[in-house]
Structure 1
Amino acid sequence: MKTHEDRVKRTFGKRAATYTTSKAHADPVSLEKIRALASPKPEWTVLDIATGTGHLALALAPHVARVVGIDLTPEMLAEAEKLKAQYKMPHVEFRTGDVHGLPFDACSFDLVTCRRAPHHFSDIKKALQEIHRVLKPDRCVVIEDRSIPEDDFVDETMNKLDLLHDMSHVREYRPSEWRSLLLEAGFLVEMLELSAEHRPLTSLTMNVDARNVKKIKAIISKLTRQQKELMNIRDVNGQPYINHWFVQIKAKKA
């Protein structure tokens, strides 16, 4: 029987090369915001979870002693190795690993980062417990991920759309859920901020099979004017756009 992690590997294995050149994932402004929030030190050892093709790990590397990037998907890690060679970062190591069972001793890392991945984790509570375990005392995890505002309709609709966009999607969590999950895992939340990006509707239909594209368009077409306003769905230069919400988090191991 195929597991959720098998679906993740299959989905991202097919898309690996596109993540290497993805403007959103390679965006230097976004990467710099995470680096600034993390405030890395030259002597630190850093773990980047669900590193993908390594954009964040490589952005952090010039500021620390060592970075380990883990990912479930071999094709992603192969792309990350290419970027590592291009940027000449020998103190970055990429290896296979699963956040639900991190292959590291307790208290191994000065910083853990995770960018745009927790909404794919099959067990977010277990993932946060593992992150807490491998962090050194009083050190932080920095997370950036898809999120939703505190609204039942937006929550249900956006998660439904994103599941149709990517069948490895599990859930985008509200800020209130993130606070509860982090506290339960033993973290003190130092910063949690919700923001939105207005993106073309094609961001939800790109690389999606025709049947699910049809379902996505059907959901959008049935929304009332008020519901579209809640999701900021409107035409921009003749093209429909929709909000994508993101959360940035810094939390300390208590």
Structure 2
Amino acid sequence: MTDQMVHEQKIIDQFTRWAKPFAELPIHAEEDAMAMTLSACAVADDMAVLDVACGPGIVACALAERAGRVTGIDLTPAMIEQARARAEALALDTIDWQVGNATALPFADASFDRVVTRYSFHHMPDPAAALAEMKRVCRPDGRIVVIDATPSAETQAAYDRMEIVRDPSHTSALTLDQLLALGEDVGLTEATVTGYRLDALLQTLADEADMAALTALFEADIAGGEDRIGVGARQSPEGIRFHFPVSIVMWRP
């Protein structure tokens, strides 16, 4: 088994366990963040849209309310099951779901007007390969939108250490400069960069078995007062709160 296959199995294992909780977490459908996502995608009712690594279909379903046809693809079958259930509950019948790999998309060249992925690149050993595939299947006058956490260069290593404890399928969260460089490497033209801070409660985002180690990391960061993880960790009445520093990058092919 190759390193790539080992990591893909790690992703499937993690998100099979987390499929339902992930689908139900309110932060994944947070209103302002979703509005910014939809604005970057700028879909119309005559467009074909692809959501790569679609997870439980939250973005795909939101896009389906505006687009002509949406396809969601994800590596984890349990996530696609959650996505189908979400679409059925919303009575959306213009979405197709597939299990598949972001680095080998099973679609013809120039098949989609919009190609989007959210919160996925930090799980990928080779996000450049996924971005190249997204470019390949996007029409020349389309848009490619990548949304992910982008820590600063100064906090990237500490951020990655925290995320690997929280989620063993994490590889590395790219800085914004690294993400933009990927676009240049595959021949994309940068169009717009926006972003938001996604506020989160630590205890809702990890397995109980990992919580002691995570809590220790965050408490040390809070006590140090230097925000070394780069997430603005703080104590609150509910527990430790922090934010994900998220960027939205929209390119033209």
Tell me, yes or no, whether TM beats 0.5. yes
Q: What are the equivalent positions in structure 2 for 1:130-149 lying under 5 Å apart?
A: 130-149=133-152
Where does structure 2 lack aligned partners over 5 or more consecutive residues?
A: none
Q: What are the equivalent positions in structure 2 for 1:47-196 lying under 5 Å apart?
A: 47-151=50-154, 154-196=155-197
Shift in alpha-carbon separation, 1:243–1:29, aligned structure 2, 3 A = closer
Partners of 2:202 and 2:158 in 1: CA distance = 14
Shift in alpha-carbon separation, 1:235–1:222, aligned structure 2, 3 A = closer
Secondary structure at the counterpart of residue 73 of structure 2: strand
Secondary structure at the counterpart of residue 3 of structure 1: helix
Identify the range of structure 1 (43-52 vs 237-246) with the bigger mean alpha-carbon deviation.
237-246
Q: Give the Å deviation of 1:231.
A: 4.3
Calculate the aligned-residue CA RMSD, in Å. Answer: 2.0
Partners of 2:182 and 2:208 in 1: CA distance = 31
Secondary structure at the counterpart of residue 115 of structure 2: strand
1:2-59 per-position Cα deviation (integer Å, ceiling 9, x unaligned)? 5111111111011111123221122343222211221112211000011111111111
Letter in structure 2 aligned against 1:242: F
1:139-173 per-position Cα deviation (integer Å, ceiling 9, x unaligned)? 1111211120232xx11111100011000001111
Partners of 2:217 and 2:240 in 1: CA distance = 14
Secondary structure at the counterpart of residue 85 of structure 1: helix
Letter in structure 2 aligned against 1:133: R
How many residues end up aligned between the 2 structures? 248
Q: What are the equivalent positions in structure 2 for 1:164-243 lying under 5 Å apart?
A: 164-203=165-204, 206-209=206-209, 212-223=210-221, 225-228=224-227, 231-237=231-237, 239-243=239-243
Where does structure 1 lack aligned partners over 5 or more consecutive residues?
A: none
Partners of 1:59 and 1:173 in 2: CA distance = 26
1:246 is aligned to 2:249: no
Secondary structure at the counterpart of residue 101 of structure 1: coil
1:48-89 per-position Cα deviation (integer Å, ceiling 9, x unaligned)? 011111111111112111100001111111111111112122
Residue identity (%)? 23
Shift in alpha-carbon separation, 1:194–1:3, aligned structure 2, 3 A = same
The answer on whether the counterparts of 2:27 and 2:198 sit within 8 Å (CA) in structure 1 is: no
